Amino acid sequence: MNNTIHGMRNEPEYYIWCAMKARCLNPKDPSYDYYGGRGITVCEEWQEDFMSFFDDMGPRPSGKHSLDRVDNNGDYEPGNCKWATKQEQTHNRRVRAHSTNYTGVHLDNKTKRYRVYLKNNYKQIYIGTFDTEREAVVARDKYIITNNLPHQLSPMFLIGYKRGAGNERMGRNRSGYCNRCGGVFRDY
């Protein structure tokens, strides 16, 4: 264990590092069930040495930024962590119960139909209810593109969107790439 004195004990990054370790490693932490209890851990290098964490992450860009994992099911480790604002983090949530494998698409167990919601600027937007998961995912992604929202598109949309009328309007340019994110549209 590295006991080097770094002089950063009162800095926000140090408190963030301590909180990250607690929610992953301490079963008594109130957030443990959502992190350590799900198998999320902290890489060994970061567990043992704050300066390794700080060297990899750098200083927090602003007081509005907090630690975010790119893959919500992945560990706290270099390459999977970044500083993000609360708004950026709302677009990176894990799938919950009664959900599909697609963010914002939920199966209603009573009606057996798929409901689609988005959150933007802290407001929930209801997009619609659909008979199939595919229809729901495509409707969500079309809404994102049409309204130029910062949300991630589903892999289904980028890989499986079929050519046809209106694709340019929905974000497809003539070279076959999405105007918004550069993803490739493919025929199936």
Q: Average pLDDT of the chain?
A: 79
| 128: enclosing H helix or E strand | strand 123-130
Six-digit token pair at 188?
């199936």
Name the pairing type of β-strands 113-120 and 105-108.
antiparallel
Domains along the chain? 12-90 (no CATH), 95-188 (3.30.730.10)
pTM of the model as a whole: 0.50
Per-residue tokens: 88: 């950026």
Q: Cα separations (Å) of 44 from 2, 62, 77?
A: 12, 27, 9
Question: Higher confidence at residue 17 or residue 117?
Answer: 17
The residue with tokens 């809404």 is 143
- Burial zone of 111 (CB within 10 Å; 0-12 exposed, 13-18 middle, 19+ buried): exposed
Q: Is the confidence at residue 153, as pLDDT, over 60?
A: yes
Q: Helix or strand or coil: residue 16?
A: helix
What is the Cα–Cα distance from 10 to 123, expressed in whole angstroms?
Answer: 35
Q: Look at residue 8 and tell me whether its pLDDT is greater than 60.
A: yes
Q: What is the pLDDT confidence band of residue 34, given thresholds at 50, 70 and 90? A: confident
List pLDDT tens digits, range 37-83.
989 999 999 999 999 999 999 999 999 999 999 888 889 999 999 99
